Amino acid sequence: MDLPFEVILGGWIATGLTLFILSFLYEDNPLFKLAEHLYVGVSLGYTIVKTYDTVVMTLILRPILDKGEWSLLIPVCIGALMLTRYVPKAAWLSRYAFAFIVGVGAGLAIPRTISSFILKQIEDTVRPLLAITPDGGVTFTYSLLDPASHLNGIIILVGVVSVLFYFFFSVEHAGPGKMIARAGIVFLMISFGAAFGYTVMARMSLLIGRLTDLIEFSDASYGRPTLWLFLLTVATLIVLTRRGSTHPPKQ
């Protein structure tokens, strides 16, 4: 099946830029710099165009011109005050815009964040350590795999208390306090380990993503860009190394 020209071209560009970026693993070189600068430029250009189209055209000009929604000029004027930062004598006007943004932002975010992250999390941390059955007996669930088990509830309680104690510096961590603080460190280390493990997984996923695309673009229907551009990248690196024209990254 013949692929459209733009798909093939996209495949060649994606392959080339991927290989140029990966060439940094060998050493810093102009191919990497080219791809890096293209990435920054293209993503910024894309953001500017999309923002202009959505904000200025769709949300401001069209409603004003087509529907006569002149009230939109109020937020436009507040936003325009930001631009007075470029005129030193009128820069004070931008404070009104900042005050508006900070005030609205804080007003919206603070109560919602307290409710969602502090109150809800405290509510979840303070759980019953035992359950009372309808016949008046007491049950205790031991499963470590069940997040709602009573054993996990105790582990979370110990973890929260010991970590909070570790960050409580008004009391010397000695005697029993030292033991609690040490337990806090253990919980913190486990948490950092889990986070780092997930980070490694995420980074490997990105590598898998790029390699999957390189394999896809090695197909004859694309003209085998992976093969040709790999050879080109390797040849360029050899030439650059021999000429001694590669430089270490500037500090």
CA dihedral for 214, 218, 222, 224, sign (positive or negative): positive
Q: Does 241 bind another protein (CB under 8 A)?
A: no
| Residue 23 to residue 237: CA distance in whole angstroms | 8
- Name which position in 9, 41, 102, 121 contacts another protein (CB under 8 A): 121
Q: Does 109 bind another protein (CB under 8 A)?
A: yes
Looking only at residues 18 through 47 of this chain, which bind another protein when binding is defined by CB under 8 A?
25-26, 43, 46-47
Q: Does 221 bind another protein (CB under 8 A)?
A: no
Which of residues 132 and 207 has its CB atom nearest to another protein in the complex?
Answer: 207
Q: Does 161 bind another protein (CB under 8 A)?
A: no
- Name which position in 13, 80, 179, 208 contacts another protein (CB under 8 A): 208
Of 80-88, 113-121, 170-178, 234-242, the segment contacting another protein by CB under 8 A is: 113-121
Long-range contacts of 86-89 (CB under 8 A, 24+ apart): none
Neighbours of 149 (CB within 10 A): 15
Q: Does 52 bind another protein (CB under 8 A)?
A: no
Of 3-11, 50-58, 133-141, 238-246, the segment contacting another protein by CB under 8 A is: 50-58
CB 215 within 8 A of CB 190: no
Looking only at residues 163 through 202 of this chain, which bind another protein when binding is defined by CB under 8 A?
191, 194-195, 198-202
DSSP string, 178-234: HHHHHHHHHHHHHHHHHHHHHHHHHHHHHHHHHHHHHHHTTSGGGT-HHHHHHHHHH
DSSP string, 115-160: IIIIIHHHHHHS--SSEE-TTS-EE----SS-TTSHHHHHHHHHHH
CB of 30 to another protein, least distance (A): 19
CB 237 within 8 A of CB 22: no
Q: Does 141 bind another protein (CB under 8 A)?
A: no
Give the per-residue contact string, 64-103, with another protein (x = CB under 8 A; - = no).
Answer: ----------------------------------------
Cβ-based burial of 3 (10 A; exposed 0-12, middle 13-18, buried ≥19): middle
CB of 123 to another protein, least distance (A): 7
Sequence-distant (6+) residues with CB within 8 A of 215 are 226
| Residue 249 to residue 120: CA distance in whole angstroms | 47
- Name which position in 4, 128, 137, 147 contacts another protein (CB under 8 A): 147
Q: Does 223 bind another protein (CB under 8 A)?
A: no
CB 217 within 8 A of CB 14: yes
- Name which position in 13, 92, 95, 117 contacts another protein (CB under 8 A): 117
Q: Which parts of this chain interact with another protein (CB under 8 A)?
A: 25-26, 43, 46-47, 50-51, 54-55, 58-59, 63, 108-109, 112-113, 115-117, 120-121, 123-124, 147, 191, 194-195, 198-202, 204-212, 215
